[in-house]
Structure 1
Amino acid sequence: MNAKPNVISIAAVSGGGKTTITNQLLGKLNNSKALYFDEYDFKDCPDDICDWVSRGADYNEWNLAPLIKDIQVHLNNKSLKYILLDYPFAYLNNAISGYIDLTVFIDTPLDIAMARRILRDYSENSMNDVKSDLNNYLFRGRDAYLEMQRNVKPNSDFVIEGLLPVPLIVDHFLKELSHRSL
């Protein structure tokens, strides 16, 4: 292999399936590496997502230097064909957009995404923790989910229906990848 790896961004709302689909694609795409947004500790970034959205959701407020550094390192790895980014912003952050070759948005209905997130994040917590999170969603957090649908979804190269079973989402993704000759 002599070409640089293709960088593919996989976006969705929280609970929308980014990590699940990224992990499944890792198993299907030979010579691929995944980078997960949630594994980074970004400095000089918004502390409160809801406040960030209410101030206009400037995606360039996010200093993504650690993620960009890792992308740069992996771009020099000629044995890789794909770098998969479990990353929520598609092309909207100017510092990272130039590295991305393709973006996909997994369009999962908000009620399904919320249910998945509650099951994932609160399986060991009290009902009061769940109630608190749901109240936060209703009064503040829903705007952050809607922000993704308003701006990230239309800034993605293609959209996959998030209600499809995971194997069908992966198959759809692989067909699109083949169609685009990446």
Structure 2
Amino acid sequence: MSQKLKEGPIRSLDLEKWRTKYGLTISAACELLGLQRATWAELQKRPDKEVEDATVCALLTLYERHPETMPITRVIDIRQRMVSLGYDPDNPKDKKSFAGATGREAAAVYRWVNGQGNVSKPVERLLEALDRLHTESGKKKRNVLESVAMEVAERAGVRDPLSRGSWRRES
């Protein structure tokens, strides 16, 4: 069980301390607490202001006591995702193909696989969308991903991003 928040009413500063403790963006913190960004911004202007919404206070207390209840499922295990789609995360050719299929440069995939950078939000959403396809087959999901990428590449005039690992237009 996590430590309790300090005694007394929950204040704006407690929200910010919680956010930074868990390395959350303001958007993620707002999503987890059900707050609008404008509300968050107003609260942060006055760190000593008491948070009046009892539900927000209850959520914050629950998350502090039981961090496992925070519904953060958006941390993508990129190696696992690549394997599930039939890519070998240690194979340079597959890294290029995965980069092309997800609309990114090969250098980004190298960073992700080596834990040197966060997967971008659009790539997270793309992989989440693939998860919702009505098939359990990683091969079918990969085929859909790559066919969509190739359609986008054709429309954008980009030659074969899957084998090149790049979305740059060739001159």
Fold shared by both chains (TM-score > 0.5):
no
Q: Looking at secondary structure, tell me which structure has more strand per residue.
A: 1
**For the pair shown, which has the larger CA radius of gyration, 1 or 2?**
2
Tell me: higher relative CO, structure 1 or 2? Use CA pairs within 8 A at least 6 residues apart. 1
* TM-score (norm. length: structure 1): 0.22
